[in-house]
Chains A and B, each alone.
Chain A
């Protein structure tokens, strides 16, 4: 082996070490539209019992190009759907001939902070409701309109608009009282190793965040950025659809969007983000 080859080898060895550690989360700061800084890293809440030291937004694990799309509302492709949802908000529908706007006026006022607290226990109904369940309750019982299909176009658009009006506020999902049982059920699902690959959410997003799995840079699987516009399928993606994809990737039988299991899982995973800023609609690859 000649001297050149040796140097080349040494170079490769020297390079491969920092590349390997280059995993992890980056140190960028999220400033939206040049003026609003969002909390994308924060201390983990006590109910995680030390499972994570720090909460880190999924944004920190994406490439600079993907990240930058989320920093300006004119570049963020998810904003088109926020606009569409504003039309839905103002459109009268159903037997009562009412629009969301008739009861809730301007969403910038009435809906600020709402997204940060969902899923949430509803006392009258005696159930934990996701934001989409609450919207559909309004549609069916207040407007006499049909429920929107779970995690499909109109419902995800509206969820994105509501997220937009809570953007920057810390996630603050309640897990005590009557929601506690469902939270425990969601936690159980989070740690269950499913499918022929026998992998749980925690195996990838708690034990291995920061590591690459093939070309995918594993994040903590946080959902403060949902709905997420994915470059891969060029549309807004709901939380349950994302869960479904991840469960499928363990070679398991999945649950369906809107199922009791995914509602419980959403409650639990949302609570894992308590303290991170609402970011939806985010941009992901």
Chain B
């Protein structure tokens, strides 16, 4: 009885700890910029990740990356590599790190850091052209990043 209660409590605590969102400043980047731990503790929703990837108001990843599986979204960019098979080539930890802050994996890359809030030159208030105050809200929320990672993991040769 007591043991069960204890275990339940432990499991709950663990669950709660994991469910706590990792803040941008606290993300632990490992070798080559990988991020092993989920930013939210909640599994990613690939369907929402698909919309984050494709919509201009969210990740707008498609402005730089082409993805065959997104044939319904018009105008895929050419600035970054084609990601149609990235779910085979990259692990979850690698993808999480690349989306959170690609500069940790690819030094000097033009890919923006989606989970970063300070250290900018002339930070603006979104697309208004007016000054913004750091810390800025990150470009994507922790859950959106988990969702987009879940979507990227589905990108495989069918």
Contact = CB atoms under 8 A, between A and B. Distances in A.
Contact of B74 (A198, A203, A215): A215
A253 B129 CA distance: 5
Interface in B30-84: 56, 60, 62-64, 66, 74-79
A137 interface: no
26 contacts: A193-B121, A195-B121, A195-B124, A196-B112, A196-B120, A197-B112, A198-B113, A198-B120, A199-B112, A203-B110, A208-B110, A211-B79, A213-B64, A214-B62, A215-B74, A247-B122, A247-B129, A249-B127, A251-B124, A251-B126, A252-B120, A252-B124, A253-B122, A253-B130, A254-B124, A254-B129
Interface of B: 56, 60, 62-64, 66, 74-79, 110, 112-113, 120-132, 136, 139
A198 B112 contact: yes
Contact of B127 (A23, A211, A248): A248
Contacts of B130: 253
B144 to A, nearest CB: 15
A253 B127 contact: no
A207 interface: yes
Interface in A185-234: 192-199, 203, 207-208, 211-215
Interface of A: 20, 23, 192-199, 203, 207-208, 211-215, 244, 247-254
A218 B139 CA distance: 23
A237 to B, nearest CB: 15
A207 B110 contact: yes
Contact of A214 (B63, B112, B127, B128): B63
Given A212-B79, A213-B63, A254-B129, 7 more contacts: A195-B122, A196-B120, A211-B77, A213-B64, A213-B79, A248-B128, A251-B132
A249 B60 CA distance: 13
Contacts of A198: 112-113, 120-121
Which 9 A-B residue pairings sit nearest by Cβ, starting from the closest?
A: A214-B63, A248-B129, A215-B75, A211-B78, A253-B131, A254-B129, A252-B124, A252-B122, A197-B112
A9 to B, nearest CB: 10
A254 B130 CA distance: 7
Contacts of B64: 213
Contacts of A249: 127
Contacts of B62: 214
B19 to A, nearest CB: 28
Given A196-B112, A207-B110, A213-B64, A248 B124 contact: yes
Nearest to B126: A251
Contact of B123 (A20, A23, A192, A252): A252
Contacts of B60: 214
Nearest to A199: B110
B124 A212 contact: no
Contacts of A254: 124, 129
A174 to B, nearest CB: 29
Contacts of A248: 124, 127-129
B78 A194 contact: no
